[in-house]
Every structure is written in structure tokens, then in C-alpha cells.
Chain A
Amino acid sequence: MHKLESFVRLANASLAYGVEDKEVLAIDDVSMTIREGEFIALVGPSGCGKSSLLKLVSGLHPALRGEVIVDGRQVTSPISICGMAFQNSTLLPWRSALDNVLLPLEIVEPYASSFRRRKGEYVERARGLLRSVGLAGFEDKYPWELSGGMQQRASLCRALIHEPRILLLDEPFGALDAFTREDLWAVLQSLWIEKRPTVILVTHDLREAAYLADTIYVSSPRPGRIVSRTEVEFARPRTLETTYAPEFIAKVHGLRERIAH
């Protein structure tokens, strides 16, 4: 399949919260272009508008000025080709982990219309995905019976189940311990290599960004603007060994210096 050179494009996009006189500008004049299948990471100080940028791309929040174009179409309302994992796990407490993961298939076409008929197949897929993030045996637990990290993994599965063409991840590993986090980097990378969605990953962790991303964008403090763009050329699949290489460490250092604090 032909990959689009400009799959996601922001052109001088701004985003604000609140009404007229009490407006808070969260994103100011951001322009970026993301190739189809590219994995980008967005880093920046807290409150600089990273989550807001994901809302902009997903269509959850309209742009104040400028343009947001995804897959050749201007984004004016939520786009259904995206999978999203939010900063705080937003699993529905009345559904088991498995049913939470199945949720997108009940809503997004072409799955929704065949959901009843092919439920068995979908359940198998959801179980497989839960297994791949290390949640085998926890399918029937409710979110409040899972630890924070487990909830976050389930919510990652929910973002992936309908094989979205664009994946928006808001600090998905922020609440996890270092070991689990590094495990899940590998899980996410192999899922990405397999399906090749376009990924926007918001993170506070520069090693995570350098491990996973093709391109790293650094944002300024609020209102967020893009202050630097760094390509990461390490060969795939990357491993933990990669992160100990001097080039890797140099890259992370370089990034750290660009983040204002």
C-alpha cells in the first residue's frame, strides 16, 4: 500500500480552553507534518499542551486558528480512525477488562455491525492482545480490581483492538515501574512494526521517546510551540542494549538540553 507523505498535518494550529475573556491558550501556532506509519514522540514540560495536541488531532477539541488535516481531510469532529489511550486510565468500571477492550469493536465500523455474529472471534482477539501485554488471567477482573499499571495496559489494548490507522498515546507508561515500562516499550514496538499505524506518543521520559520514536518533537512551556525536531535513526527493532549505546545516551542528553525548565 502506498504510504502518504503527509498523513497528519498541523498548519499554524492553535487551541484554547474557556470562553472569550478567560481564554487559556494551550497550543500556539504549531505546524508539523507526520508521515503515514511514522512514530513520533512529543515531549515537553508539564502543562505545555501535549494532551491538548492529541485532542486537536483526534478532533475531540476544535482548533482555535489554523488547520488540522488527517488523511487528507480537515478535522472538524472526532475522527473514528484513531485509537486513544488517555493519561489517566479511563476504563469503564462496570465492564470487565475484556469487555473494556471490546468496547471499540462495538462502536467502530466495520466491526460494530458484525459484532454479535463474530463476537467469539473478537473475544479471542481481545484475549490475545491482553495476553501480549501480560494480562493473561485478568480478563474477567473489573478495573478497580487491577493495579494502576494493569489498568494502563488494558487501556492500551483498548486503543489497539480495532487496528486504528492512527494511535494517540498520552503518557501510557507514566504510572508504571521502570521494568514493566521497558517491557511494554518492546511490546509496543513490535505491535507497531507489525501493524504500522501512525503513532503520536506523549511522554515525559526521554529514553522512552528515543527508544520508540522515529522523530521527537520538543514543545516549549505553555502556550505550547514546537521548539525542536530530532530524527532518531537507530535500527529497528531496538532493544534495551540500544539504550546503553553511547550514541543513544548522547541523543537523550541533547534532548534534555532543549527542554526549558
Chain B
Amino acid sequence: MKPPPTFARPLPAKERTDRPRRAPLVSAPLVRRITPWLVTASFFILWEIVCVVFHVDTFILPKPSQIVVSLFQHYPAITANALQTLYTTLVGFALAVAVGLFLGMLVGAMPPVYNGIYPVMVGLNAIPKVAIVPILVIWFGIGTVPAIITAFVISFFPIMVNVATGLATIEPEMRDVLRSLGARRWQILRKVGIPRAMPYFFASLKVAVTLAFIGSIVAETVASDRGIGYLMIAASARFDITLVFAGLLVVALMGIAMYEVFAYVERRVTFWATRGNEMLT
């Protein structure tokens, strides 16, 4: 008989929260935790080597070392703009969560509403979000508001769809358990619908927060005088490609951080959906 695969072993809650630490033995979970770091490090090392070996012009592709230097040189500007982007992203994302949750529940719990709203939503979602930025500029001028709205518009859809799906796919048997007790519609929604939709909801948050970043940065590149998107556009206008890459790096880092935050929340809140097994998250 084969031993069960190591990833199927549910980790005790304590161990899960630990950060990678130096352990004398290289255990399987440790390998799993350090692999992403190794891959990332190799990627940057390879990049550096390619730039050096082939004498790649800094103007085409700066070396990672140069990017890091630029990051430190422009530290104050990058921090200020990164905070601005983080702010617009999170405000837009918070709005998206509120509206997505509300519409998702409405649509998922009431089939007639589902039939009415869903096609319209799919249509709206098909519009490229960049296309609405100029309109937002006309309405709200240049600055923070268009970025927030773009972040919101781009990220609320997956939340809504996931919540609606979670509610609409409740097993009839579970509904029957509640119905046989004489539960009312709202009770069924509270006791079964919402808990059941939570894994779908949290799964969508990870995706939505990354989309929100894309939204606010796109808006900043077109219609703002602040934010990482603006910083990158301004830098490229000055042909400071290294700074553009530094901006990209910061965006990627913020995206990963947010993704991890929500992935962590998801594991915590909906552990039952994976039966205590972390593999799928």
C-alpha cells in the first residue's frame, strides 16, 4: 500500500500560521513553504545573469540589482504613491465586497432576479474597463475617484457571481432539512445559504483584490496625478525605465501580499469546505 501523500495530512492550526523557520531537518512542509522563495530567487538571479552575459541595454531591460537601487533612491516617492494606490484599491475593493455580496445574495436567493439581472451583468462585465476611465474623468475629473471606481467595477463582478453561485447551488437535501422543520426563507438563507456560500465568497476575494489592483493602476496611468500607475507613466515619459520596473515590482509585491491575506482568511473561515485539508487552497 502506498503511504498517503504528505499534503493530505491536515496540519495542526498552530503550525499553519508559522513563518518559514530554520529547521535542522528538511521536512516536507518546509520544502513546500520554501519552494516559492527559491523559484522567485532563481528567477531574479537568472534575469541578472542574462542581462550581464548578453549586455542588455538598461533602457530595454534593467538588471534586478539596478531596480533595487532605484527602489531605494526613489524611496519616498514610491512609498507615497504606493500608499495612494493601496488606498484607492482597498476603497474600491471594499465597495466591491459590499455591493457584490448584496447583489450576489439577491441574485442567488431569488431565481426571478437571477434571470433578470444576470444577462445585464454579464454584458456590463464584457465591457473593457479601460474604456470607462475617460468617461469617469469627464464625470469626476482627474485623481482618486476614477481609480476607486475602476477598482470597484473590475472587482465586484467575480464576488457577485461567486456568492450567487454558492447560494444557487445549495443541495436540495440541505434545504429539505430546514424546510422539514418549518423554517422560513430567511432562516434557510441564514442557516444554510450564507454558510454554504462562504467558501465561494472567500475564494472570490483573492481573485477580486488582485483585479482591484489592476483596476486602480490602469485608471492611474490614464487619469491621475498620483499612485504607482502615474509614477510609472511619468517615469517612462522621462525614459527612466528602471523606475518603471521598480513600480512594477512594488505592484507585484502589494498584489501578492493582499492575495496572501485573503487566502489566509479563507483557510481560516472555510476550513470545513476542504475538510481540514489544505491542498486545494
Contact = CB atoms under 8 A, between A and B. Distances in A.
Q: A and B from one assembly?
A: yes
Interface of A: 55, 58-60, 78-80, 82, 84, 86, 88, 90, 92-94, 103-104, 106-108, 142, 144-145, 162, 168
B68 interface: no
A90 B272 contact: no
Given A78-B182, A93-B272, A107-B183, 10 more contacts: A78-B180, A80-B182, A84-B180, A86-B177, A88-B173, A90-B173, A90-B177, A107-B181, A142-B272, A144-B272
A90 B272 CA distance: 15
A92 B174 contact: yes
Given A80-B181, A144-B272, A144-B275, A92 B195 contact: yes
B74 interface: no
A144 B273 CA distance: 10
Contacts of A82: 180
A79 B179 CA distance: 9
B249 to A, nearest CB: 39
B191 A103 contact: yes
A206 B173 CA distance: 26
A107 B275 contact: no
B187 interface: yes
B176 interface: yes
Which among A55, A58, A82, A92 has the greatest number of chain B C-beta atoms within 10 A?
A92
A17 B176 CA distance: 16
A5 B276 CA distance: 50
27 contacts: A58-B180, A59-B180, A78-B182, A79-B182, A80-B182, A82-B180, A84-B177, A84-B180, A88-B173, A90-B171, A90-B173, A90-B177, A92-B174, A92-B177, A92-B192, A94-B195, A94-B196, A94-B198, A94-B270, A94-B272, A94-B273, A103-B177, A106-B191, A107-B178, A144-B276, A145-B276, A168-B180
B186 to A, nearest CB: 11
Nearest to A86: B173
Contacts of A103: 177, 181, 191
Contacts of A55: 176
Contacts of A168: 180
Q: Specify the main secondary structure of chain A where it touches its partner.
A: loop
Given A88-B173, A90-B176, A107 B272 contact: no
Contacts of A162: 181
Interface string B144-178: 00000000000000000000000000010110111
A83 to B, nearest CB: 8
Given A90-B174, A92-B195, A108 B181 contact: yes
Contacts of B270: 94
B interface, how many residues as a size bin?
A: 20 to 34
Contacts of A108: 181-182
A74 to B, nearest CB: 16
Interface of B: 171, 173-174, 176-183, 187, 191-192, 195-196, 198, 270, 272-273, 275-276
A93 B192 CA distance: 10
A149 B23 CA distance: 42
A78 to B, nearest CB: 5
A103 B191 CA distance: 9
B184 to A, nearest CB: 9
Please name the 3 residue pairs, one residue from A and one from B, whose CB atoms are nearest each other, closest first. A80-B182, A84-B180, A94-B272
B278 to A, nearest CB: 14
A22 B191 CA distance: 34
A106 B183 CA distance: 10
A59 B270 CA distance: 33
B180 A60 contact: yes
Nearest to A91: B177
B179 A60 contact: yes
Contacts of A93: 272-273, 275
Which among A78, A86, A107, A108 has the greatest number of chain B C-beta atoms within 10 A?
A107
Given A86-B173, A90-B173, A142-B272, A78 B195 contact: no
A168 B176 CA distance: 13
A74 B174 CA distance: 25
Which among A58, A88, A90, A142 has the greatest number of chain B C-beta atoms within 10 A?
A90
A58 B182 CA distance: 10
A24 to B, nearest CB: 16
Contacts of A145: 276
Contacts of B178: 107
A202 B274 CA distance: 33
A203 to B, nearest CB: 19
A93 B174 CA distance: 10
A54 B178 CA distance: 15
B176 A86 contact: yes
A107 B191 contact: yes
B48 to A, nearest CB: 48
A156 B276 CA distance: 25
B59 to A, nearest CB: 55
